[in-house]
Structure 1
């Protein structure tokens, strides 16, 4: 009964607090206002992450003993730091390097003091274990990068909450199957909070999670994923943990790499916000917020299912297949968007310009 309690508690607390968050921030006019790089057209409260965080923490306190919570003190302390960082950034934007310092310190707390580390790659590329110093450096790098990658997919209504729901539900199931009940309670607490938030964030959204929510989700889910790689999972459950972790976070990974490549090619600053994310492509192709979110979430579920069903194929082959499939679908969407934009420009181009181009070509 503990796991259903965790889900129900986080769901109800998030659901109950969300209208209060919306009302308070509307009353003080602390809203995310539309601008040229944002896709929403109505000023909207953007600190829904406060209700999400409260729901997760309340559910965890309710469903686990104080002794078990004490073993997670460094993880919880680091999560509080990430939460405060998100609140500060949502209230008044911080420089990227300042956020990075706090993220690195929070990840270091979890890795060094909490002993949450990636010790190897399960034989992938012949790597079964890392040198002890590299364990810590690599794990801090993974946590920081994936926290920010998850933050980047929070661009349309319902997407980040849906992906958090999918990832946390899977990790909760694996933790439960493996006998790690504290991690299972934590994961399912995230699931419940995600579901409660989605009821207010589905298009048209009444509230955004902001960095307060997306960084907390990214940090907690990435840390749970690192634990997933480290725990002895029953062989009958998961044979390819590295490939499965890749499948869980395939959308943040692909989207981050894609955006960085575009910015590099165009000469744009690597940390500059833009509208070149995968979800923006789907919107430009004519899909609604809801349909775009459903498409991306369904693909995430499909890839995770592929990783579990075909895990006997091997880690390397699975990762290769998923990477090629994702990149191919992304390339098709990009090509379709380029053609649509070219056709649109051709229609609005003045006749004299078209005529001059024709004469030039002749």
Structure 2
């Protein structure tokens, strides 16, 4: 009864609160306004994450016994901190270093006090167990990086929510398979809230999740992924937990590394905002928001299916194939965009310049 109650509650509460959030923030004119860096053309409320968080919290309160909730107090407390950080950042932008301090503290609560940590790589690269303290430090690093990476993919209508839905649904299934119903309930609560949000965030979007939603999604899904890595799953189900975890977050990981490298090579600060994300590339190539979102989500699902379906070939081979495939497809898309941009520039060369060149050659 717990799982159906969790998904139904989070979905209905989020769905019910979303119009209220939209109306309130429109009435006080607190909107995300278009500018040269953003791709939306209409001022839109950007704190949809408030309804998402309340929906998830209500689901957990109803679906889990108090004793189970108490066991997850550090995760819930840390997620609440991330939520408040997101609200503060959406209301008035914070400096990156200030956000980082809160994110590190939230990760500390989960890792050191909640005892959620990656102890090794399941034998991958010969690493079964990390040395003392390395497991905690590495886990905190992963949580903070993936929280911000997930935030970066929230650039077009429906994308971040759809990716969150895919990841949460898979992690909920994996936890259920392992008999870990608390973890399954957490994941399913995320799925339900995401569904309620997507009904208002699909193109043309009526509301954005903002940092309030994207950082909460990134944080809680990464923590659930860490729990997935350290969970004894029936051998017939998942043989490649590390590769599967990479497949789950393939899009945020690739997109983050890609834009950081582009910024470094072009002489820009690694954390400076731009329109070079992979979803921007698809839009520039002529796809609309829905087509771009469906393309990227489909690829994410394909990576997960590959990691699970071909787990018998070994984690290293799975990760290598996924990496080469993703980088190759990304490079082909970039090349196609560069050719299109070059052709467009050639078409807008003023006629007098062409004539001048012609006379010179004669």
TM-score by length of 2: 0.98
1:284 positional shift: 0.3
Provide the residue aligned with 1:243 in structure 2.
243
The 1:361–1:87 alpha-carbon spacing in structure 2 relative to 1, beyond 3 Å, is farther
Provide the aligned C-alpha RMSD in A.
Answer: 1.1
Q: In the alignment, does 2:253 pair up with 1:261?
A: no
Q: In the alignment, does 2:152 pair up with 1:152?
A: yes
1:358 positional shift: 6.2
Provide the residue aligned with 2:327 in structure 1.
327
* Stretches of structure 2 lacking an aligned partner (at least 5 in a row): none
Provide the residue aligned with 2:225 in structure 1.
225
Provide the residue aligned with 1:130 in structure 2.
130
1:351 positional shift: 2.0
**Secondary structure of 1:47 counterpart:** coil
Provide the residue aligned with 2:21 in structure 1.
21
Distance 1:64 1:2 in 2: 7
Cα deviation per residue 1:13-49 (whole Å; 9 max; x = unaligned)?
0000000000000000000000000000000000000
Distance 2:158 2:222 in 1: 20
Provide the residue aligned with 2:203 in structure 1.
203
Distance 1:110 1:359 in 2: 72
Distance 2:308 2:54 in 1: 33
Provide the residue aligned with 1:161 in structure 2.
161
Distance 1:108 1:357 in 2: 65
Cα deviation per residue 1:310-350 (whole Å; 9 max; x = unaligned)?
00110111000000000011011000000000011111111
Distance 1:361 1:153 in 2: 49
Distance 1:230 1:138 in 2: 14
Distance 1:169 1:198 in 2: 15
Provide the residue aligned with 2:88 in structure 1.
88
Cα deviation per residue 1:28-75 (whole Å; 9 max; x = unaligned)?
000000000000000000000000000001001111100000000001
Distance 1:126 1:30 in 2: 52
* Count of residues in Structure 1 that have an aligned counterpart in Structure 2: 362
Distance 1:6 1:90 in 2: 28
Distance 1:360 1:47 in 2: 59
Provide the residue aligned with 1:99 in structure 2.
99
Superposed structure 1 runs of 4+ greater than 4 Å apart: 355-362
Distance 1:280 1:189 in 2: 30
Cα deviation per residue 1:195-231 (whole Å; 9 max; x = unaligned)?
0000000000000000000000000000000000011
1:248 positional shift: 0.1
Distance 1:107 1:185 in 2: 21
Cα deviation per residue 1:227-269 (whole Å; 9 max; x = unaligned)?
0001111111100000000000000000000000100000011
The 1:14–1:356 alpha-carbon spacing in structure 2 relative to 1, beyond 3 Å, is same
Q: Which moved more, 1:228-237 or 1:148-157?
A: 228-237
